[in-house]
Amino acid sequence: MKKVLLVIIILMFIQPVSGQLFSKDRVLNNQNFDKPQLSYAYYLGFNVYDYDIDYAANVKDVQVLKSIGLNVGLVGNLRMGDYVDIRLEPGLVISKRELNYSYSYFNGLSFEDRDLSREVQSTFIHIPLLIKFSTKRINNIKPFILAGFSTALNLSSQQDNPEDNSNNNFRVTKNNLYYELGIGIDFYLYWFKFTPSLRGIFSIQDELVNDVDLNSPWTKNITQMQTRGLFLNFTFQ
């Protein structure tokens, strides 16, 4: 699935770009599209979330099984010049991760097979503030890079739930901070602008909420757990 998605992304970027660069037909669509100082759009997309985990002792890593999630949101764009924009992109992000533990985490403890797995379902209100650096427009395309910071409110965190992993509840922090880096291409079509973009997000804080029991097999050996993820968004403006 991941290989197929990667091939689709590469073809999506390469074919239109090569067509615009080498085609003799250079009719420009929406030549004044980027002139307004304020503009708005919406996006739909997919995400894959992972965890970067640091450990106290050298035992087998917790395996993170990843799933493809969904993104949907709005874009507010402030034009600062011909090649620089500031963007606010609030949205809803739905994701799921599964943590699989090895038997070594339960040495000397009684456990059942279901104790070796914990599911972390997340629904985020995700709010990135990004700076967009664009190249000069080439026919009907304009490549760009993105960089910035974001905050997210995890509506499914269970941070305040008094029941922890002893009751099958893996708890993570409710409020999170990230930095983000990405690339994309604006395609100026006849009626609108279409923008596929690929963006990585990286947490800058520990997101683990430790269990009440300091010797909990699920959290004792984890010193830090941070989100890292990949977004593939399609923006329509």
Residue 106: helix, strand or coil by DSSP? helix
CA dihedral 226, 228, 234, 237 (to 10 degrees): 50
- Residue 25: predicted pLDDT: 55
59 pLDDT more than 90: no
Nearest to 149 by CA among 204, 85, 79, 71: 204
Q: Is 95 exposed, middle or buried (0-12, 13-18, 19+ CB in 10 A)?
A: buried
**Residue-wise pLDDT tens digits, 140-152:** 999 999 999 999 9
pLDDT at 204: 96
Highest mean pLDDT (candidates 13-22, 100-109, 191-200): 191-200
Give the Å distances, CA to CA, from 58 to 54, 61, 223. 10, 8, 12
Write the pLDDT tens digit of every residue in 202-227.
999 999 999 999 999 999 999 999 99
pLDDT category at 92 given cuts 50, 70, 90 is: very high
In the chain, the domains with their CATH numbers are: 2-236 (2.40.160.20)
Strand partners, 79: 85
Average pLDDT over residues 70-88: 96
- pLDDT over threshold 90, residue 26: no
| 181, 149 Cβ separation under 8 angstroms | no
